Structure 1
Amino acid sequence: MEHERTKDYLASYLATIKGKSQQPYKRVSISPLRYAGGKSNAVGLILEHLPALKEKKIVSPFFGGGSFELVLAKHLGFQVIGYDIFHILVNFWNQVISKPKEFADELARLVPDKENFDRNRHILLSYWDKVKPATLEYTTRNKLELTEDERKRLDTNELLQAVYYYYNMQLSYGPMFLGWPSSVYVDEKKYKNILKQVREFSAGNLSVQCADFETAIQAHPNDFLFLDPPYYMEGDSKMFKGMYPNCNFAIHHNSFQHARLRDLLKDHKGGFLMTYNNCSTIREWYGEYKQVFPSWQYTYGQGEKRVGKNRVDGATTKDSHEIFIICPPP
């Protein structure tokens, strides 16, 4: 079987996103979802190091915001099978993939101002209180009083669950699930652009399911994997914070089984490309594989006023501390 990488489609696409400044490639932002830890700035670098594949098919056990995966599915003709452990996020993807126009219609009913953001956030919080992990405890400050309809609004309506989740993510600082409003994104003009992007959204050959990484990897023993796991926070890691998934609660991050992921990948037969934070433990664990040390700038947590050129002039950019670990398929 001819390897897909022997064809020129990757080189042709990379030429279209070639950078003109210090970055080798432009940011590629086609995901409708703002998502902390996304790889929109790293798409070109990841594609550059993608090994020769037997077919245009990739499995993503940590789908998240889908920045890289959407490029594969929409622009490069890949079949992408995504998984994520956060059921609210997975429901968002399934709703926006299957019914973007209905999604946009419901989103248009919500008003993008601070007062409505606060109320809609508490409606989402009311639903989250009912479905959150039983072991998760937190205190909500300045809690709003909701009507009975508002308290029950999202209980059985999966489309509205997705819409309220998306509204909160797109308009929050960070972004962060159940976060506070962003002075940049709580804006009527930006909201109109969001509505247009959602209404016209097309995902290509993409599906997203709810499952943990172990289930996902074991279900695809011979498929090539793209993995973007949560940061390893111990030892000499330079990462100061980890949230997995991006939901404002470290419910899956603090107890993430990094060693179990390592063991699963050592037995995996289909090959993989994984992005991880660069630290001595990860380099040692995956020493038998090719390791690449790329550099790009994060967009998460740059600050409300540190946008675009201001981030460079003010020296407030956040450079990556990541590693690509590459195991070509047989």
Structure 2
Amino acid sequence: MSAPRRPDAGSPQDGPAHAPTRVFVDHRELLFSVVYNMLGSVADTEDVLQETWLSWSGKNRRAPLAEIGNPRAYLVRVAVNHALARQTAIASRRETYVGPWLPEPLVTDATTGLAPDTADHTVRSDSVSLAMLVVLETLTPLERAVFVLHEVFGYAHTEIAGMLDRSPAAVRQVAHRARAHVQARRPRYRARPRVRREATERFVAAALGGDLQALLEILAPDVTVWIDGGGARQAAGLRPVQGREKAARMLAGYASRRAGDLDVHYRSVNGDDAAVLFSDDSPYAVMVMDLTPDGDQVCGVYVVTNPAKLTRVRPDADEVGTAQ
């Protein structure tokens, strides 16, 4: 049985016997957001939600729903623990992954303002930026779970302790360690939306236009470029490129091979302005830029070209500009 989504009004799932289904559907978006921020993969998130649904439906076959005092807390606890258990398989997969690994981007549709998952359009307002997800990859699975639950979703340490079967004191220590680790790698700042959009458009024009001088001006001296092709794109590098000169030359050369065939759609990706590149209406790449605190330069470039991570990306006629 697949994990349920939103039942249509008037369906058989409106009956009392389907109360557990309605409870799960009501909390599905929260569960998706929590698990996605822990794993960075939509496919793995959907698998975890399926496992959570099976645990939930099995629990309700054995005991009435009324015996579960706080269904929301129960479902989050089950989902988080399934996500932690899945980390072993994910780590094993990463060992054989070709080149840099980046999270699967959540691309917002320009018309609806929503981000698609495997079957329907759903709001992903609680997803953190792609750059932050990359930083979270450097945490241990436990540190990441605690950070996501506390810093992103606002759960108290005592609540997290109950979810993870640890003492509140132990959770506070993990939270302190995770927060210090993240803040050391990603200071808290966020450029204004207009500044982000202008910087994104300047960068894309320079990169796809092969304008080396413009790239040297907009890239920060210590910029890092990640290109995740998963071994499916020949032009993707096997490791991140650091430094303005190397990055500019690599980006200019990378774009010159395909720029004339690409259409640019400006979208929101994980809440940030970004560019989605299409070739003959098929998604070719998602480009997300991380800005310096003043918003004047690009300090990080995240390019996802792995086709397996772009299967949910769709073109939108309202937000298109042809690359020159």
Q: TM-score, normalising length from structure 1?
A: 0.27
Identify which of structures 1 and 2 has the higher relative contact order when contacts are C-alpha pairs closer than 8 Å and 6+ apart: 1
Tell me which structure has the larger Cα radius of gyration.
Answer: 2
Report the structure, 1 or 2, having the larger strand content.
Answer: 2
Higher helix share: 2
